[in-house]
Amino acid sequence: MYALEICGLAKTFKGKKMRTVEALKGLNLCVEPGEVLGFLGPNGAGKSTTIKCLMGLLRPTRGSATIQGRDISSAEARRSVGYLPENPAFYDYLNAEEYLLFVGRAFGMAPELLAQRTEEMLKLLELWEHRKRLIRTYSKGMVQRVGLAQVLLHDPDIYILDEPMSGLDPIGRALVKEIILDLKKRGKCVFFSTHITDDVEKICDRVAVINKGQLLVVDSVQNILQQGTEGYTVTVVAGDGRREEVFVTTDRLQSFIRDAAGESRSIEKIEPRRKDMEAFFLEIVAR
């Protein structure tokens, strides 16, 4: 069973004066349990729309989706999900601790466990000292941290995060990366949208690229990086100890190594030179 299964999802917004926006045009996507999938796309591509449909906030115009086999139209489907909205806002008359208690109760957590997890999450996201302050007084990044805390609170199997890094300082970003990698290690499924190709490269198993409401590519990060390999930078040490860096294309690599051995030059280092995720992304979207 897939953690997330999206079948032919389409969403059309009806604007004023008969104007319509086709935000999603028949999206098909499956996410395995235990997989970290990056949802990459430029502004207005339809990432948030997809996620809002999954969370039952928007009603799809066509198509369907399931979360762990349960149709998204029922509230029960969301029981195993932690969702972080884009630019989140939480009841600002509560403090962080009260909000987490509210979320935990909605998930039916036992009181002792809830108290313990609340403390852990507040400490993990460095909100512990601020837990008694009203969310109204929080900075943007602190609100984002509250959002992450409420996602992790009930330890769900599936994480749906809409731009989890947005609004965070470098320390916060590093922390989020660490958290996602830790979730991956524990076999959780993470589906997150982002614009930052570097994050995808570092933490995702697979990447799905969306533009103008259509899915362009779904592939493993490893494949993409492999395919993007243009050649290798080979460092060779000649007989007299002189070091030299040579660029070798992929098809010539084997013969180069053989020749080097014949000429008694030793090879010190072979580094693939490749297009990174960003180049790949730009190329795909421009296509």
Ligand X SMILES: Nc1ncnc2c1ncn2[C@@H]1O[C@H](COP(=O)(O)OP(=O)(O)OP(=O)(O)O)[C@@H](O)[C@H]1O
The residue ranges that bind ligand X (CB under 6 A) are: 13, 15, 21, 23, 41, 43-49, 86, 195
With CA atoms as reference, report the closest residue to 173 among 192, 188, 154.
192
79 binds another protein per the rule CB under 8 A: yes
Binding residues for another protein, total number by CB under 8 A:
30
Contact assessment for residue 24 and residue 59, using Cβ atoms and an 8 Å cutoff:
no
Give residues with Cβ within 8 angstroms of 5, minimum separation 6.
Answer: 29, 30, 31, 65, 66, 69
Dist CA 91 CA 137 (whole Å): 12
Q: Between residues 16 and 185, which has the closer beta carbon with respect to ligand X?
A: 16
Dist CA 128 CA 168 (whole Å): 17
Tokens 């290690």 correspond to: 185
98 binds another protein per the rule CB under 8 A: yes
The helix or strand, by DSSP H or E, that contains position 154, with its residue range, turns out to be: none
141 binds another protein per the rule CB under 8 A: no
Q: Between residues 98 and 120, which has the closer beta carbon with respect to another protein?
A: 98
Q: Over the Cα atoms of the chain, what is R_g?
A: 23
83 binds another protein per the rule CB under 8 A: yes
Provide the mask over 17-56, with x wherever binding to another protein is found by CB under 8 A and - wherever it is not. Answer: -----------------------------------x--xx
Strands (DSSP E) contained in 153-275 are 158-162, 189-194, 206-211, 214-220, 229-237, 243-249, 266-274
Interface region with another protein, contact rule CB under 8 A, candidates 95-103, 184-192, 207-215, 247-255:
95-103
Q: Between residues 65 and 100, which has the closer beta carbon with respect to ligand X?
A: 65
Interface region with another protein, contact rule CB under 8 A, candidates 28-36, 99-107, 164-172, 232-240:
99-107
Dist CA 251 CA 102 (whole Å): 60
The 3-state DSSP class for residue 231 equals strand
Beta-ladder partners of 206: 37, 220
147 binds another protein per the rule CB under 8 A: yes
195 binds Mg ion per the rule CB under 5 A: no
213 binds another protein per the rule CB under 8 A: no
Q: Between residues 43 and 264, which has the closer beta carbon with respect to ligand X?
A: 43
Q: Which does 66 bind (CB under 5 to 8 A by kind): ligand X, Mg ion, another protein, none?
A: none
Quote the Cα angle for 28-34-36, to 5°. 65
Q: Between residues 31 and 114, which has the closer beta carbon with respect to ligand X?
A: 31
Residue 123 gets which letter from DSSP? H
Q: Between residues 209 and 236, which has the closer beta carbon with respect to ligand X?
A: 209
| Contact residues: Mg ion, CB under 5 A | 47-48, 86
| Contact residues: another protein, CB under 8 A | 13, 52, 55-59, 75-76, 78-79, 81, 83, 85, 87-94, 98, 102-103, 105-107, 147, 150
